[in-house]
Amino acid sequence: MSGLSEDDVLQRADKAFQVYRYISAQKRAAFLHAIAAEIDNLTDDLIRIAAEETCLPEARLKNERGRTTNQLKAFAQLLQAGDWVQATIDTGDTERKPLPRPDLRKMLFPIGPVVVFGASNFPLAFSTAGGDTASALASGCTVVVKSHPAHPRTSALVSSAIREAIRQCGLPGDIFQEVSDTSIEAGQRLVQHRLTKAVAFTGSFQGGKALFDLAGKREEPIPVYAEMGSINPVVLLPGIVRESDTLPATLASSILLGVGQFCTNPGLLIALDTDGFTSFLHKLAAEMAQASPGNMLHTGIAAAYKHKKSEALHQKGVHTLIQEKTDTTERQGAPALALVDARDFIANPILKEEVFGPYSLIVKCEDEEELKRVVQSLKGQLTATVFGLPQELPVYREVIGLLQTRCGRLICNGVPTGVEVTKAMQHGGPYPSSTDSKFTSVGTDAIYRFVRPVCFQDFPEALLPPELQNKNELNIWRCVNNTWTRAAIQTFNLQQA
């Protein structure tokens, strides 16, 4: 948004919020559908421009566009069902002794203007109209997007689609604003502004933690929901390592997918040094060696990859398993695979850091006890995976139990890359993979980051929001006196009260 200071932007966002928070869930759902339609109207120009800016293949970007519009539609469906507000009613009891019990009615409400930082690795699904924006707008919050400098034209196009949807739906223009200032300071001012009520971020640990600290130092601290990446440990049990012909190719394609630029990239493989392990290593290395260096999202990410990879490969006890190919341009990232003993891994914090790119480190363990110590040495992760034969999985129940303590999503016999957008998805794990492991940034539960409960005590029916009134024409599920019921409440507009 040119010419406006961050203060202007937040003042506008807050003013728009005072109107938008009363807009019915049905109208918000129609708005989300309109954004999805307008994104589709951008045609393949959007794909072409995003591909030029990010070097991501067009097929991948088309998929991502589908995911983006489906996310918007999923939140619209959630609003139409209505139950997500968790309407809960405990009716009063005037006869209770020694004191009457008041009538208590609680539900979730939007918190206010939300600042969203667009991610570089998902120019559509985690940027301007991505999951953070969709969930915040669905909740009734207004949104200020700090677009990522790596894809400014893509962001501008998607912003124009959102503005057109706002116009068609007759909503206040400032419910969505984009700030395209490419300085770190602009983002910091947005986070520090007193009218900002929450922040959503996907990117580096350094960026997410800096914003989290900044928000914590405000006079009124606010939540920063930062997803800051992960090394996504994959435990390979001995039977499957020995018997599976497909495991090496499956793992290699996940490590190499999108030049390794996924927060769910399997950056750490952990296995026992048993029969078949050496042959597995050779096969995995052969699969990885076939790949050529690919263009990364931006030169900064490529430079960070080369630096982090080189640092990891030069640590004590780390052995490179494939002959590294030379990058021909500064934007390219060549694949890397390395091996280290469990003892050297456990002792070295550098080896537990994310190397964002087509890189993975294999940790060789002597026995199950050492494998457990490796898992216990790990920090919080977005995902953890176990590959095993059906008969050996129960034998390693304790290892699986330890993995569960480290992650937000636990996967059995599948790769961590590929995150479904559903209600049951959890994309957020213990720190430092996320700043708050109780929330997800993918799936419809992402809406709960931007709401807070308010309880109404002894309020007259006419002043209650429709979801909490006795008669409910919205036909939503709600909890009345500890029993889930469907009721009919009249539609009601608080502004008219």
Q: Which residues are catalytic?
A: 227, 263
- Laid out side by side, the sheet with 176-179 consists of 176-179, 143-146, 114-117, 198-202, 224-227
Q: Give the pair of three-digit tokens for residue 136.
A: 């915040």
Q: Give the pair of three-digit tokens for residue 444.
A: 């419809």
Q: Which residues pair with 340 in a beta bridge?
A: 363
d(CA 66, CA 37): 11
CA 110 centroid distance within chain: 19
Q: How far is CA 141 from CA 145, 264, 457, in A?
A: 13, 28, 24
d(CA 468, CA 89): 7
Q: Give the pair of three-digit tokens for residue 446.
A: 């992402």
- The angle that helices 184-192 and 205-216 make with each other, rounded to 10 degrees, is 30
**Nearest CA to 443 among 35, 3, 46, 71?**
71
Pairing label, strands 233-236, 268-272: parallel
Q: Give the pair of three-digit tokens for residue 79.
A: 């609003």
Pairing label, strands 143-146, 114-117: parallel
Residue ranges that bind ligand NAP, judged by CB under 6 A: 117, 119-121, 146, 148-149, 182-184, 187-188, 202-204, 207, 210-211, 227-229, 263, 300-301, 304, 354, 356
Residue with tokens 């091996």: 339
**Nearest CA to 413 among 187, 224, 254?**
254
Q: Which residues pair with 88 in a beta bridge?
A: 106, 479
d(CA 357, CA 66): 24
Taking the alpha carbons at both ends of the chain, their separation in whole angstroms is 36
The radius of gyration of the chain's CA atoms, rounded to the nearest angstrom, is: 25
Residue with tokens 């898992």: 375
Hey, is 249 helix, strand or coil?
helix
d(CA 381, CA 200): 18
Pairing label, strands 483-486, 359-365: unpaired
**Nearest CA to 449 among 184, 227, 171?**
227
Residue type for position 178: E
**Nearest CA to 140 among 211, 75, 222?**
75
Q: How far is the CB of 30 from ligand NAP (least distance, A)?
A: 31
